[in-house]
Amino acid sequence: DLATAVAEYGRRLVPAPPEEPLPLDVVAISNADPPAWSVDSPLWTAEEGRSDLTLQLTVRAEPAGGYRIEVDDLHVL
């Protein structure tokens, strides 16, 4: 589904420039056990630089260590 949405957007995703801090929007999810956060991450395209696309994720702490990342949505601001 994500590949289709990006193809329909009509631009090519690229990594964020290393010299630019990644402006993540991170919100703790109340009462999550183990701890979890809702994360919105802007995306970059070759054609636009920072685009109006945002990847929405849920990041969960794993009891044995590390984190599990779930992709929730891709949307245009």
Per-residue pLDDT tens digits for 29-43: 999 999 999 999 999
CB 11 within 8 A of CB 47: yes
pTM: 0.85
Q: Name 10's bridge partners.
A: none
Q: Give pLDDT, residue 21.
A: 86
For 24, 33, 63, 64, 77, the CA distances from 40, given in Å and listed in that order, are 6, 21, 23, 25, 11
